[in-house]
Structures are given as C-alpha cells and as structure tokens.
Structure 1
Amino acid sequence: MKKLASILGALLLILVLGVLGFILWQTPSYKGELQLSGLGNEVEVYFDKFGVPHIYAQSEADAYQALGYIHAKERLFQLEMMRRVGSGTLAEFLGPDLLEIDQFFHTLGIPKHAKESNAAFLAQGDTPWKRAADAYVTGVNQFIENGQLPVEYLLLGEKPRPYTLEDMHSIIGYMSFTFAMGLKTDPLVTKMARELGPDYLASLSVQTLPEHHFIPNHYPDSLKTENLLVTSELTALLEKLPVPLLEGSNAWVISGSRTKSGQVLFNNDTHIGFASPSVWFEAHVEYPGFSFYGNHLAGVPFGLVGHSRHHSVGLTMFENDDQDFFEEKLNPSNPNEILIGEQAFPITSRKETIHVKGKDPVEFEVRETVHGPIMNPVVKEIAALTQNPVSSWWVYILEPTKALEALYQINHAETMQQVADAAALIHAPGLNIMYGDKAGNIAWWAAAKLPIRAEKVHSKIFADGSDLESQPKSWYPFTENPQSINPPSGFVASANNQPDTTRSGIFFPGYYYPGERWNRIAKTITSREDWDLESIQSLQLETINEVSVANAKFMISQIDRRQFEDNAQILDDLAIWEGNHALKLSAPTLYYKWLYHTLRLAMEDELGKEGFEAYLQTFMMIRSTRHFLTHEENRWWDNRATDVLESRAEIISEALKISLEELSKQFGDSSRDWDWEKAVTIEHPHPLGAQKPLDKIFNVKTDAVEANEEAVNKLAFKLNGEGIYKVISGPAMRIIMDFADVEGSVSVLPTGNSGNRFSKHYADQKELYAKGKYRPQLMNEETIKEKSENKMVLKPGN
C-alpha cells in the first residue's frame, strides 16, 4: 500500500507540474523584444495596469502593423469567431451543429457582400485607409505565423488560416447583421396582422406611440454634407452564434454651458450581449500627427468609439427600419419568375458550398428575386407563414460598405465637418454618431441611408411584392437624416429611441425603444449646470425605471386586495416601489414574475407558446407593455379557449395568484426573503463554455448586479416564467470624458482587455464593472512610461 501511495503521489505531482507547465506555456508575455519584418522603425508598446497597450510608433504604417500584432496576440480567437460568422464558415471550424447558421448567413448574403465590398475597397486604389488596413493585416498574420496560439485552437485541433481584407469586411458584415431586428420582428407582426387583425395590433406599439419620448432634432445651417440620392425558431438559431449581438446603447454629450469646467462632457455605454472576452478591445495609438485612444472590434484596425486630444466619438444603434420583406407572386406560366405589376422578373439562383468539420461538404441553392434573397428555406417562421417566396430587401447588401473608410476618417478627423462627412458614408447599419470636441461643439448624426417608401407600405408587415406602389422609391439625402448640432438645450443624447420628424416632417419607422432611458437622461442633465466627471457617474449607473413603477401601480389597481391579505406586505412594498433595482429589494422580484404571467395569460392563447416567447424577444414587448396594460379596447385579455369573456382585472389577478404561489415555493413563504439578488445571475459566456467542464475554465461569473428592464444602466435579461433572470447584455464599456482634462478620462470593461484565458487581464475588470467603478484611460506619455510595468519593443526584422 505504501508503494502504491508513493506511485500515486508521484503521478499526481507529475500531473500538477504538467498543468503548471501548460499554464506557464500559455501565459502571454507583455515584455521583451520581438522582430517584425516590414517595420520601418522600432515601435514601443507599454501595457498599463489593465493590459491596455499604448503604442508609440514613428509612422502610421508601423503603428497599425504593431496594433495588428498586439490585437491578434490578445484577441485572435475572438477574431476567428467573428470572421467565421461573417463569412459563413462556422461549420468548417466548429462542426455540423453550426451548418444551419452558415446557411442562414449565406442566404442573407453577408459572405457574398463581403467579397463585393472588398473588391470595391481595392478598386479605390492606394488610399490612406487601405494602407493602414494592409499594415494591420500584416501584423495579425505575423502573430498567426510566429506567436503562441490561444489554447482554444489546441482544444479544437485547429490552426488559423491567414487573415485577409475580405475577412475584415466579413467582420463588418457580422456587426451589421446584429442590428437587423426586422428578421426577429416582421414575421411575427405579419402573423398577428393576418391571423388576429388590426384590433389586436392596436393594443401593441408596432410603431412609435405619441406617449413615447422622441430625440429632438436641431438642423444647422453651417454644416453641409453631400446629398446622397440614389421568432422563437430564429432566436434559437441565433443563440448558436459564438459571438454576441449588438443590442442597444446610451450616449450623451453635454456642452460647456452645463458643466463645472465649462468644457464638453462626453459619455457613452454601448449595450452588447455579454461574452468572454467582452467585445471591445482598448488600444492607444501614437505616431507623429496622430494620437487616438479607441475601442476596437477584433480584426478591425480603426476604433468604432474613441477620442483624440481634440475630439471624441461614440455610437448607439439608430434602430431604423432598413429591411423589408416582399411576399412574391409567382408567374403562373413560369415558376422561375415573379410578377411586379404586369411585368415578369426572373428568379436567379447560385450554388453555395459549406465545408463541415468531419463531414462531406454541403452544397445548397440560394434563390433571389429583384427584391433580394428568398428566406423561406432558412427562416422557419417565414416558411410557416406562407408557401409563397418571401424576399429580404436589406439596405446593407444593396451596395458595398464604406465602413472602413468612414471609421478611418472619424479617427483622424480634425474638424466637426470631417466627422459629418464620414458619417454620411455609412449606409447601413444605422448608427447614431455622437460627437464632442475641445472647441465646445456637440453633435449627433443618425448615420444611415434611408429609403423613401410609399405611404401605403407598413414597414413591419410583409409587402405584396407584385404591387408596383409597394416598391422602394428612392433615398432621402443625408441632410434630411435626424441630427442635432449645438442645440440650445445644451446637450445631445440618444438611447435607441425614435428621433423626431426630419427636416421635411417625416417620422422614419424603426425598431425604436420607448425612450424611458432617454427621458431619464434628459431630465437629469437639465436639472443642473455643474456636471463633472464624478457627478455624472450616478446617471450612467442608475437602475431606475419610472414606467415599471407606473405599471406596477396600475396592476395593483386592478386587483381586489382583500383576496391577497396574506401577501399584504409584498404588495405594500410594490406599491411604494420607486423603480430602482437594489439587490435587497423584493419589489422587482414580484414585478417581473407578475408581468410575465400577465402577458402570458393574455397572449399565449392567441400566439401559442413559441409565438409568445418570440414576442418577448422583440423590441415590441418593452415598447408595448404600458400601452398593453392600459388600453381600454385591448382584446388580448379574453382567453379564446374558454366560452366566457375574461376581463383585464381577472387576468391580472390570476397572474398575481400564480406569481405569489411560485415565489413562495422558490424563495420561501416570507416575502422578506424574496431579495432581487436571489433572482439574478450574471455570467459572461465563452464560445467553448457551452461544453462542460470548459464553462468552469472560460466563462466569467461575477456577483449579482442590479438587473433591470430599461433603466439607464441597462442590464438586460429575458422575461421568463422561471423567475431566475440571467443577465444577457449590458454596457460593453462605460466611458466618461471631460474635455477640461482629456488625459483624465475613465472607462471600464465587463471582463478584461485580453481574450487569452491565461492572461491576468482576462477578467481583471469584472469586479470594478459589477460594483460600478471606473479606471483611467491613460494618454499622458510621461505617466504611461513611468507607471508601466510591462514594455514590449517591436524591432524591424528580416
């Protein structure tokens, strides 16, 4: 026995030493010297306390080559996932489970569009943005060839292929798709319209309602830009994506008239699905004539958000409707043609081949009309709705993207006019570009190419493809787009809500949120005139939802309190709830459970279980809830499965009864034990984390956060009947900058700046983020070099 114990002890020691050796082998180094062929001069890279690289180069080409190398070093596997989503090659890398999502992306046309955009990019010739992109690609490939590959490749038995400019355009395509709310919403709205009729739609907010909050426009005369004329099944499919979707955002810029310093105060927090690593990679790049601190997507050399020493740019989702669906009329004499009016147009087809790991390649056909690709084969909700072909008309794939040029111009802009001109290059997806500068200017531009539709067209219901009047007409000029330049109010803000009418009086349709976040932002900003970096943090971290308070009070007004005497305490707590989501409160725990069952009892009989779950995943649920509860003519309250006519009060009371019973079983009989923190979980999932026990290695968990439906600090979850709410998205960074002290700006990421599991920067910001704290965005060269513990020198090599 002693001999056996000795042998086992030796084997255990060998195992432990092997594990430690593997970890040391995988642990990235942030210091030392490396040779990179192609560099003109030596580049110094200083990594600060949180692993943010500060790159000092002597030329633009050297700077972007170094950025490409460092970015790949920290985020190569994330880059891999994003380029494979956009190129429709996930199954080749991860296996047959991803075949359907590849087919979906090929049908939608993103891989094809990436090729077309790349060809147009090359056709521009030797532009500054191409030279910078080429240098970045060179740096990425030098790491792929010579660097220590992330452990994910070892686990999957794969190696990365070289990175290309076409891959870069595939990543832009992935980013653009994440904004395509139409695919989730329009089939469901069409189903409601056809099967239930207008009376049911009247109780929902399919379009923006008058009581919602609008972003005010303020059109300047001084800025001129060129007029550019010219359900549940799907949700389940998209959940297979190994990268997060961009979902919303807040941004506001306050002029010096409302700040303590008299300088512009800039704020941005983009809302993106939680993931490990989180989406943004921070990097600070310096070379003669250029200084920029940016938030980058993996594989993209230019910051989508960031600031120089004289200007700052942020973004939110515009949420404009840029995707229409046309139900086609086949030509009776030729099934390979559609009719528009009396004229016949061909249905074309192309063959796509998808390579599948461990399997034979799969070839499939994509059929297209003049409106776009036919989506029935890859969107089951559409296939279930009609046997007629349904084509997707999507602005993004109608012309090559100029996103890389626009981002380069924005990063390098020296004037507000240059940023406006760059914003005009963005045709899709729709973005709210937020701007502030050292000269005191503040601005917001809704950047997108907006189609002119006929008045008869309902942008969220399938159009009759054969109707001549339903065809897209032309485009509004960019000068018509919603915007606000140095408004008298002293601030600009966007929170994914509806912009006010354009210069010509048009309410452009979209998938806008109701404006509750915008209203809190606007009311708070205008309440004082001495804002600074510290005081504005309370707004960015606020978890109050005033409309939820109104909903709760209304629901209480619909019940007979005498029937719930045993639960008087929790109902009293809910009655005085102020809408915050503090972790020790019980009111949110009851509110969300009660709201779920109220909506379920009202809607599931009409929509079915899957249809109801699909409804909960659309923007309509948040935008419609207040109207749904209070609309006196709401026909959803009646249960169509019974012979009696149910009332609103009966449904709400029954939902409360069910909720109280479930919460008692879940958390105990005393409502004092129904703390909100017990109902909230938060985890940042890694693409390999779905496979146990890899979740224990790669996923990042934190303490509970103040999860909420639509507060400024939006930490979103899916409403559900289980009563456990997994926070699935939130601010992907929180940035605050006072132009009185550009070098004193602050930010925080949800996890960390590195995507390498064995890096100390993989999750070193998670507690700061969960607790609402910030850390500096360093730009002062002396401070960076003095405090940096890690310096890497990249030298020219053969």
Structure 2
Amino acid sequence: MKKILTILGAFILLLFAGLLIFIFLHSPQYDGEMKLKGLGDQVEVHFDKYGIPHIYAENETDAYRAMGYIHAQERLFQLEMMRRVGSGTLAEFLGKDLLEVDQFFHTLGIPKHAKKSSAAFLAQGETPWKKAAEAYIAGVNEFIENGKLPVEYTLLGEKPRPYTFEDMHSIVGYMSFTFAMGLKTDPLVTKMARELGPDYMNSLSVQTLSEHHVIPVNYPDSLQKDSATIRQNLTALLEKLPAPLLEGSNAWVISGSRTKSGKVLFNNDTHIGFASPSVWFEAHIEYPGFSFYGNHLAGVPFGLVGHTRHHSIGLTMFENDDQDFFEEKLNPSNPNEILVGDSIFPISSRKELIKVKGQEPIEFEIRETIHGPIMNPVVKEIADLTSNPVASWWVYILEPTKALEAIFKMNHANSIQEVADAAGLIHAPGLNIMYGDSIGNIAWWAAAKLPIRGEKVHSKIFADGSDPAAQPKGWYPFTDNPQSINPEIGFVASANNQPDSMRNGVFFPGYYYPGERWNRIAKTITSRDDWDQESIQKLQLETLNEVAPKNGQFLLSHIKQEDFSDYSDALDAVQNWDGVHDLNSEAPTVYYKWLYHTLRLAMLDELGEDGLKAYLETFMMIRSTRHFLTHEDNRWWDTKGTDTKETREQIITEALKISLDELNAQFGKDSDDWEWEKAVSVEHPHPLGSQKPLDKIFNVKTDAVEANEEAVNKLAFKLNGEGVYKVTSGPAMRIILDFADVEGSVSVLPTGNSGNRFSGHYADQKNLYAKGKYRPQLMNEAEIKDKSKGKLLLVPAED
C-alpha cells in the first residue's frame, strides 16, 4: 500500500510540476530584464496593481516598439482574431465552419480595402505616424518570434504569422464594419415597404420622429477660448464572429462653468459586445515631450480613447447611414452588364482564394457593379428579397482609410484645432469625437464623410440602380458636419442619437437611437453646477429608463386588471415602476416578457420568425416601441389570415396571459420571487469558449447586473421568449477625468487588462465593474514606481 501511495504521490507531484511548467511557458512576464531588437535605449515598463503597463522610453520609436511587444504579450490572440475577421482568413485558422463568414467579408470588400489602405499609408513616406506604427509592428513581431505564446495557439495547433501593415488595416476595417446596422436593417425595411406598404411603416420609426431627442449643434467662428451562397441569415452569421462588435456608447464633457473645480470634467463609456478579453487595452506611454494614457484596440498602436495632461479624447458611434443598396437592372442582351438610364456599365468579376484548415482552398467569385459588390450570394435576407443583383455602396471601401493618421494626430495634438483637423480625416465609420482640455475647451464633432444622396434615394430602402436620379451626387464638406464647440449650455454629449441639422440645414439620416440616454444625461447635467469626479459617477452608473414604465402603464391601461386578480401584486409593480432596473424588482421581469409577446403576437404573421428576430435586434425596435404601442392607426394589431379583426386590447391581453403563465412556470406562483436578478445572466465569452469544457476555462462570468435596454448605464440584451436575458453588451470601460486633477482620473474594464488566461489580470476587474466601482488611471511617475507590482526592463539586443 505504501508503495502504491508513494507512486501515486510521485505521479501527482509530476503532474503538478508539469502544470506549473505549462503555465509558466504561456504566462506573461512582468518582471526582470529582456533584450529587444531595434531599441536605441533601454525602456522601463512598470505594471501597476491591475496589470496596466506604464512605459518609460527615451524616444518615440523605442516607446512604440515596447508598446508593440507588451501589447502582443497581453493581447496576441485577440489581435489574431481581429486581423483574421478583417482579412477574411478565419477558416484558415479555425476551420470550415467559418468559411461563410470569410466569404461575407471578402464580398463586402474589407480585405481588398486593407491592401489598398496599406499601400496608401506606406506611400506617404516617412511620416511620424508611419514610423511609430512600424516600430509597433516590429515589437509585435519580436514577441511572435521570441515570446511565450498564449495557450490558445497550443490548443489549436497553430502558430501566428508575422504582423503586417495590411493586418493593421484589416483590424481598422473590422472596426469600421462595427455593428452592421445597414445590412441588418435595410433588407428588412425594404421587405416591409414592398410587402406591407406605408400603413404598416407609419407605425414604426424608420426615420427619426419629432418626439425623439436630438443633439444640439453649435458652430462657432473660432474653435478656441484661448490661444492653445449562403445557408444562414446575416444575424446567425455575425453570431459566429470571434471578436466583439462596436455597438453604441455614451460620452459627455462638462464645462468648468458647471463643475466644482471650475475645470472641464470628461466622461466616456463605449458600448461594445461583451467578450473575454474585453476590447480595450489600457497603456500609459511616456517619452520626452509626450505623455499619454490610452485605450487601445489589439493591433493598433494609438489610443482611440485617451488623454494627455492637456487634453482628452473620447468617442461614441455616430450611427450615420453610410451604406446604401442598389438593386441593379441587367442588360437584357448581356447579363454581365447593368443599365443606368441610357448608359451601359459592365459587371466586373474577380476570384479570391480562401484557405480552409484541413482541406483544399476554396475559390470564391466576387462580382461588382459601379455601385459596389453584389451581396445576394452572401446575405440570405437580400437573396430572399429579389433575384436581381443588389450592390452594396459603402462609404468605407470607396477610398483608403486615414484612421491611423487621424488617431496618431489626436493623441499628439497640442490644440483643439489640431484635433478638429484630425477628425476631418475620418471618412468612415462615423464617430462622435468628444474633446475636453485643461484650458476650458469642450467640443464634439460628428466625424464622417457624409454623402449627398440622389433625390430618389430613401436611405433605408433599396434604390433603383438604373435610375439616374438615384445616383450619389458627391460629398458634404466636413465643416458642415454636426458639431458643437464651447456651447453656452455648458456641456456636450452624445449617446448614439440623431444630431440636429447640419450647418447647411440637412437633417442627416442614420440608425440613431431615440435619445433617452442623451435626455437623461442632459437633464442631469443641467440640474446643478458643482459636478465633480465622484458625484458624476451616479449618472454613469444609472439604470433608469424613463420610457419603459410609461410603456408598462400604457399596456396596463389596455387590459381589464380584474381578469388578472391572482397577479395583482405583479401588475402593481409594473404600475408603480420608476424605470430603475433594480435587481430585487419584479417589474422589469414582467415588463420585458410582456413587451416581447406583445410585439411577437402583433408582428410574427407579417414578418415571420427570421424577420421578427431581425427586427428585435435592430435600433428600430428600441426607437419604434413607444410609437408602435400608442399609434392609433397601427395595422400590425390585426392578425393576417383570420376572419376577425384583432385589436390592440386583444393582443396586449393575450400577451399578458402568456407572459404570466410562463413566469409562473419559470419562477413559481409567487410574483415576489420574480426578481430581475433571477432573469439576468452575464458572461464574457472567449472565442474558444463555445467549445465545452473550454468555456469553464476561458469565459468570464460575473454576478448579475441591472440589465436594461436604454438607460445611461446601458447593459443590453435581446428580447426573447425564454425570459432569460443574457447581457450581450455594455460599457467597455467607464472613464471619468477632472482636469483639476488629471493624475487622479479613474476607469474600469469589464474583465481585465490582460487577454492571457494565465495572467492574474485576466479578470481582476470583473467584480469592480459588476458592482459599479472604479480604479485609478495612474500617471504620476513617483506614485507609479512606488506602487509598481512589476518592473520589466527592456534593453537593446544585437540585431
């Protein structure tokens, strides 16, 4: 027995030792000395309590080379996923299940555009942004060659190829694709317009309604106060993406006239799909003449959000409509040509080879008209709608992107004018650039290249490609774009809602949200003039939705409450709901279930299962719900194919019956047990987490959060019949900065700063985030070095 126990003990010891060695071989290095090729001088990297690197270099090139190495150490696999999405090479890495995703992105044109943008970037010559990006790439490749690769590569039996400028532009292309709202929405709107007609459309908010809140604009004379073939629909296809999509965001900048300190107060929380790791990587870079603390995308050297001691930049999605679809008319005598008026234009064709792991490459044909690539073969919703070719006219692929130059210039700007000039370089995707500085300026620019559409084009319905009056007419100048510089009201804010008219009077269309978040932000900010970093946290964490309880009370007014006396407590909870999504409240549990079944019963017969699901996942559902419920001439209430004409009251009553039965079965008969907390789940999924048991290793779960659809602290989920609401997106960081104390700014990430599973910083912020807590963004050198949890010294190595 002793011998058996000895052998067993030795085996366990060897297994444990092997596990430790395995973990060591795949863990990030936070201490010691490391040789790095190409460095001119040594670089110190101090890691704080949360694993955020503070990089101290003697020059810009060394700083960005070190940044590339450290960024790869922490986020290489995330970089891998993002570059492969944008380059259409997922199937090569993950297998044939991702082939259709690759075909979609190749057809959309992002890989082709990345090549064009990379060539244009390099053709600029030895610009500062090119030198910095080049150094960053060298640092990434140094880690790929000599660093300890993350465990995901071992599990997949793969090794990363070198990182390139083309990869970097593929990642920018992925970011520009963002939320795909045009592709999700326009086929659905076109289908409804063609099959149902204007009576049905009038009960929806296809365009912004008068009751929605718009962002006020302010165009000053001066910028400164001071002289300083597919089997799946698109929704199912996008669910396969191993990288999160950008979805929304809040940002507001408060003038010193409304703050306790008299200095600008800056706030930003970008809304992005939940993932492990979360999308932003925080890093602080210092070298002579430059000090910047930023939030970076994997593979991108410059911070899309961040601050110096002089200025801060943030962003939200503009949500402008920059993608149109042209239904082409084929030349009857030649199917490889289209007609536009009396003119004939050829359909070009090219073949691209898509590599697939474990099998032979697939040759894939892409056809294009003068309007763009033909999308029927890769978007089921379009193929089901028409047999005519439908081309995607998307602003992003029409010219090389200058996003890297723009972001570099914003990071290194010395004045508000320099940031404005950099914002003007962004052609797509549309971004709201938010700005504040130490001398009191606040600003917002809607940054995008906005097209002048043909007079016969409805921005969300397929255009007639053969009509000369439907053709694009050119571009509005950037100076006409919506913007607000130092407004008298004392703040600027954006929350993905409609900007007011441009300088030229154009009310530019988009996929805007109704502005409830913006309204709460605006009302709250203007309620006092002594805001500080601590007091503003309450607004950033607010889960109050003012419209949801109004909708709930409207629903209640269209039923006979005496018919539901057994559930009077639950209905009273809805009647008295203030719109706060408290975890102990049953009101949101009842409301969202009831709303779902109301919309389902009203719309399923017209839209079908796929159409209803698509509708519930677009901006249009949130923007339309209040109008849909209250519109007196709503045709959707009547069920098609029945002899009787169903009414709003019948549909709402039936929806409540179904909802109460389902809640009874789900949570029990006592409505006091229908707490919102029990209906909500939160998980940050990893690309490999879809395979069990890897979900237990890589996915990050947290306690329930106050999930909501359109409060300031937007923690979004999909309406569904199951009554279990998985929070799929939310703030990807929460930043608050008071220019009275730049070094005391705070933030928090949803999971952690590292994407390496064996790092202690993989998920060390998840509890802070779930509980609405913050941690510092350190910039004081003495404090950083005093509190450093690890010091990595990078020294020049012989080439």
TM-score range, shorter chain: over 0.9
1:243 is paired with a residue whose SS is coil
Contact 1:232 1:610 in 2 (8 A): no
1:398 deviates by 0.2
Q: Which residues in structure 2 correspond to 1:195-274 (within 5 Å)?
A: 195-223=195-223, 233-274=233-274
What RMSD in Å do the two structures reach over aligned CA positions? 1.1
CA distance in 1, matches of 2:37, 2:273: 37
Matched residue, 1:496: 496
Matched residue, 1:625: 625
Whether 2:398 is the aligned partner of 1:395: answer: no
Matched residue, 1:677: 677
Matched residue, 2:228: none
Matched residue, 1:792: 792
Q: Deviations over 1:538-559 (max 9, x none)?
A: 0000000000011001000000
Q: Deviations over 1:644-701 (max 9, x none)?
A: 1000011001000000000000000000000000000000000000000000000000
2:451 is paired with a residue whose SS is coil
Whether 2:181 is the aligned partner of 1:181: answer: yes
- TM-score w.r.t. the length of structure 2 is 0.98
Q: Deviations over 1:110-158 (max 9, x none)?
A: 0000000001001111100000000000000000010000000000000
Q: Deviations over 1:186-219 (max 9, x none)?
A: 0000000111111101100000000000000001
CA distance in 1, matches of 2:431, 2:178: 12
CA distance in 2, matches of 1:335, 1:5: 79
CA distance in 2, matches of 1:9, 1:660: 57
Contact 1:232 1:611 in 2 (8 A): no
Q: Which residues in structure 2 correspond to 1:644-723 (within 5 Å)?
A: 644-723=644-723
Matched residue, 1:773: 773
Matched residue, 1:228: none
Matched residue, 1:613: 613
CA distance in 2, matches of 1:781, 1:412: 20
Matched residue, 2:50: 50
CA distance in 2, matches of 1:361, 1:393: 29
Matched residue, 2:577: 577
Whether 2:411 is the aligned partner of 1:379: answer: no
Matched residue, 1:133: 133
Matched residue, 1:464: 464
Matched residue, 2:227: none
Contact 1:232 1:614 in 2 (8 A): no
Contact 2:455 2:469 in 1 (8 A): no
CA distance in 2, matches of 1:700, 1:432: 30
Q: Deviations over 1:708-727 (max 9, x none)?
A: 01000000000000000000
Contact 1:680 1:705 in 2 (8 A): yes
CA distance in 1, matches of 2:569, 2:512: 37
Contact 1:179 1:317 in 2 (8 A): no
Deviates more, 1:2-11 or 1:276-285: 2-11
Matched residue, 2:159: 159
Matched residue, 1:514: 514
Structure 1 641/5 Cα, relative in aligned 2: closer, same or farther at 3 Å? farther
Q: Which residues in structure 2 correspond to 1:236-635 (within 5 Å)?
A: 236-635=236-635
Contact 1:269 1:732 in 2 (8 A): yes
Contact 1:285 1:293 in 2 (8 A): yes
1:505 deviates by 1.1
CA distance in 2, matches of 1:716, 1:278: 15
1:259 deviates by 0.2
CA distance in 1, matches of 2:406, 2:12: 56
Contact 2:55 2:66 in 1 (8 A): yes
Q: Deviations over 1:435-480 (max 9, x none)?
A: 0000100000000000011333110000000000001101000011
Unpaired segments ≥5 residues, structure 2: 225-230
Contact 2:27 2:150 in 1 (8 A): no
1:19 deviates by 2.2
Paired AA for residue 282 in structure 1? E
1:65 deviates by 0.3
CA distance in 2, matches of 1:180, 1:342: 33
CA distance in 1, matches of 2:408, 2:180: 24
CA distance in 1, matches of 2:556, 2:7: 69
Q: Which residues in structure 2 correspond to 1:18-97 (within 5 Å)?
A: 18-97=18-97
1:641 deviates by 2.8
1:181 deviates by 1.1
1:24 deviates by 3.2
Deviates more, 1:9-18 or 1:491-500: 9-18
CA distance in 2, matches of 1:133, 1:141: 12
CA distance in 1, matches of 2:276, 2:179: 21
Paired AA for residue 520 in structure 2? R
Structure 1 653/232 Cα, relative in aligned 2: closer, same or farther at 3 Å? farther
Aligned pair count reads 792
Contact 1:396 1:427 in 2 (8 A): yes
CA distance in 1, matches of 2:641, 2:563: 25
Q: Deviations over 1:425-444 (max 9, x none)?
A: 00000000000000100000
* Overall identity of the aligned pairs, in %: 79
Contact 2:356 2:362 in 1 (8 A): yes
1:14 deviates by 3.2
CA distance in 2, matches of 1:5, 1:503: 82
2:75 is paired with a residue whose SS is helix
CA distance in 1, matches of 2:84, 2:223: 40
1:415 deviates by 0.2
Deviates more, 1:713-722 or 1:637-646: 637-646
Unpaired segments ≥5 residues, structure 1: 225-230
Contact 2:27 2:148 in 1 (8 A): no
Paired AA for residue 346 in structure 1? P
Paired AA for residue 50 in structure 1? Y
1:21 deviates by 2.9
1:220 deviates by 1.1
Matched residue, 1:190: 190
Paired AA for residue 788 in structure 1? S
Contact 2:715 2:731 in 1 (8 A): yes
1:10 deviates by 4.3
CA distance in 1, matches of 2:26, 2:182: 42
CA distance in 1, matches of 2:474, 2:763: 48
Q: Deviations over 1:741-782 (max 9, x none)?
A: 000000000000000000000000000000000000000001
2:270 is paired with a residue whose SS is strand
CA distance in 1, matches of 2:724, 2:37: 53
Contact 2:214 2:499 in 1 (8 A): yes
Q: Which residues in structure 2 correspond to 1:744-783 (within 5 Å)?
A: 744-783=744-783
1:372 deviates by 0.1
Contact 1:179 1:429 in 2 (8 A): no
Paired AA for residue 410 in structure 1? M
1:349 deviates by 0.5
CA distance in 2, matches of 1:346, 1:317: 36
- TM-score w.r.t. the length of structure 1 is 0.98
1:7 deviates by 4.8
CA distance in 2, matches of 1:718, 1:6: 55
Paired AA for residue 118 in structure 2? N
Contact 1:277 1:755 in 2 (8 A): yes
1:469 is paired with a residue whose SS is helix
Contact 2:276 2:751 in 1 (8 A): yes
CA distance in 2, matches of 1:608, 1:650: 20
Paired AA for residue 390 in structure 1? V
2:672 is paired with a residue whose SS is helix
Contact 2:327 2:391 in 1 (8 A): yes
Contact 2:255 2:442 in 1 (8 A): yes
1:248 is paired with a residue whose SS is coil
CA distance in 2, matches of 1:88, 1:500: 37
Runs of 4+ in 1 over 3 A off after TM superposition: 1-14
2:247 is paired with a residue whose SS is strand
Contact 2:328 2:464 in 1 (8 A): yes
1:504 deviates by 1.4
Contact 1:583 1:706 in 2 (8 A): yes
Matched residue, 1:227: none
1:233 deviates by 1.3
